[in-house]
């Protein structure tokens, strides 16, 4: 190891607050370890963000009937959504059936049991 090398020191830039949506750079303090957050508010926000469950909901949507040779009446699909992720759970439904299924799934998901 060469004395005087600064390669292993924390770079003064490229480290930002770890809170979601915050880009405030973290200023290294002369003592102690590098903070992860720029403020107590950001620390609290990040904590709540981690511990807030993203809700799962069902939704009905009109699928593309023409490409599958389905009658337009049976063009509805039902999907589950959580955040950006979705899973189609039923296709080729009439709208009343799709709406009913959505209602049943959302009832089930809302049941705290």
Query: Which lies closer to Zn ion via its Cβ, residue 46 or residue 60?
Result: 46
Structure tokens at 17: 């607050």
Locate the DSSP E strands across 18-112: 56-62, 76-82, 85-93
Which of the ranges 21-29, 50-58, 62-70, 80-88 carries the binding residues for Zn ion, by CB under 5 A?
21-29
DSSP 94: -
CA distances from 113 to 12, 41, 51, 109 (A): 50, 34, 20, 9
Query: Least distance from C-beta 42 to Zn ion, angstroms?
Result: 3
CA 110 – CA 34 distance, rounded (Å): 42
Q: Which of 10, 12, 13, 19 binds Zn ion (CB under 5 A)?
A: 19
Query: Which lies closer to Zn ion via its Cβ, residue 13 or residue 111?
Result: 13
17 binds Zn ion per the rule CB under 5 A: yes
Count of residues that interact with Zn ion, criterion CB under 5 A: 6
35 binds Zn ion per the rule CB under 5 A: no
24 binds Zn ion per the rule CB under 5 A: yes
CA 65 – CA 55 distance, rounded (Å): 29
44 binds Zn ion per the rule CB under 5 A: no
Q: Rule CB under 5 A: which residues touch Zn ion?
A: 17, 19, 22, 24, 38, 42
């Amino acid at each position: 190891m060469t004395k005087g090398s600064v390669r292993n020191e924390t770079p003064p830039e490229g480290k930002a607050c770890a809170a979601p949506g915050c880009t405030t750079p973290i200023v290294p303090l002369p003592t102690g370890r590098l903070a992860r957050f720029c403020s107590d508010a950001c620390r609290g926000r990040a904590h709540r963000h981690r511990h807030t469950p993203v809700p799962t909901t069902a939704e009905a949507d009109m699928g593309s009937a023409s490409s599958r040779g389905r009658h337009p009446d049976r063009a509805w699909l039902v999907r589950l959504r959580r955040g950006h992720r979705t899973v189609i759970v039923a296709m080729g439904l009439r709208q009343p059936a799709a709406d009913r299924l959505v209602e049943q799934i959302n009832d089930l998901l809302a049941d705290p049991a």
